[in-house]
Every structure is written in structure tokens, then in C-alpha cells.
Structure 1
Amino acid sequence: MTDQTPAAPTGGVIPYLTIPSRGGQAAVEFYRAAFGAEELFRNLADDGERVLHSRLLINDGVVMISDEFPEYGNASDIVPVGVALHLQVDDADEWWNRAVTAGAVPLMPMADQFWGDRYGRVMDPFGHTWSIAAPIKA
């Protein structure tokens, strides 16, 4: 993590996750353990506890997170239905096992799928769904 704000990437789509119940700092640690995240930057709110902004590098892509700030209209009381963050990786079983060991809850078991991927889905401890896939090994 750097002390200076690194330039944010331009272009593309960057997911920005709201973390409930002052869990932002725990979320950073979970994403490190589960998905090998590298934290590029973090700002804490004036209270010194809540994450105002964290920028993570996961599987060569950026994911941003913050704690919820209901006083600014950023609350996490809406469950993210119909949304999954997808990880296309080299070894789906390795990523799956690491995520489950770190505390992710399996939603769809890791299995070979008809479209040619080994694929499964988990929910992180903060309510966000992640899919993990890799081409089936021949």
C-alpha cells in the first residue's frame, strides 16, 4: 500500500463494493486471503475506523471498496441481487479452495460445465457473489 494516491485506471469498468457494518478493513484482509488481493491505496474516514476508499488489485483487475456511509447516502442495505464478480483464472480449483478456506460460502459447487469451463460461485462474508472459472484441463 502506498502513501500517495496512485492514479486510478482510465477506461474499462471497475466494480466498487460497499461493505456493511464497518467491515471495510476486514474485507481487505479477506480479499487478500481469498483472492490474493494487493491493496494499492487506502483512505480512512475521519473516525479512523471506516474505510473511505480502498483500491485493490485482484487477478490483474482493480476492485474498489468502501465501508457504508449512510450519512452520505451510501448504505449497504440493498443486497446485490443478480450481480457477480467473475474471476477467470488459471486454476479454478486452487482459487476456489483458497476462497472457501478464507471464509467464502459456496453457492454453486466447482464443477466442469458444458460450455468448457470448470466453474463455481461463492459468496464472500460481506454479501458479494464471486464466480470462479478456468478452462477445463484436457
Structure 2
Amino acid sequence: MSQINPYLNFNGNTEEAFNFYKSTFGGEFTALMRFGDSPGCEDMPEVEKNGIMHIALPIGGNVIMGTDVPKSMEQVTFGTNSSICVSVDSRSEADRVFNGLTPGGKVTMPMEDMFWGDYFGSFIDRFGVLWMVSYNPNETK
């Protein structure tokens, strides 16, 4: 396993929050994707298309990541506003971690290849913790 990083969910103010974090920690965003630029979001309300689908800010050897939760989805509350993102070194390690932690929980997105290049899945474990498992074959570890 290479990294475990926090993934934060916001009700429409991700960009504001991450600019605030950037003003303290410095650095540059390594990813910034908006809903309107993403496949499958064409029918999203116009007001939500400018929302942040994914943003990443390196801090030291780790990365803090985040997203806006569109108003058309269930809004986040304390306890559902963060996930643990596990970035692994292989597809087999991604499957091992995913399959090891999902029993008794609820899979929200099965492991599959994503349009952004990662092999990715997410779930809520049996203790209510939100997890994301990600393998990017193009990243050098």
C-alpha cells in the first residue's frame, strides 16, 4: 500500500475550502475537475456543473482531496463528509483491500475502470466508515 489520504465532501464550497487550505499549506492543485467537464454529467442542472467533481492538494508526502456533493444528491452532514482513500500499487491489491473491508458493509461503487484512468471502488464498512480504493496504473510509486 502506498498512501492513505483524506477525501472530504462539501455542500458546494469545495473550491473555497481548498483555496483556504492552499493558502496555509502552499503548493499547487494536482487535479481540478468540474462536473460540467465530466462524462455523464450532461443532464446535471447548470448551477451544479461548475461544482468541483475532484480536487487534490499535496501536503508533504500526502494528498488531501475533495468534491462537491450536488444538491440533487443527499447533502453531507458530519460523519458523511469524509472518506479514507486508499491508493494501492496494483489491481490485485485494490481487489484484496476492497474485498477484505466490504463484508457486512454496503458497496456504493464496485471496483471498475474509471474514465479518469483509475481502477476505483467505494463502500461504507460495517462500522459506518466511508472508504475509497484506487489504483492508477500510470502513477509511479
Q: Common fold, TM-score beyond 0.5?
A: no
| Superposition TM-score, scaled by structure 2 size | 0.42
| Superposition TM-score, scaled by structure 1 size | 0.43
| Greater length-normalized contact order (CA 8 Å, ≥ 6 residues apart) | 2
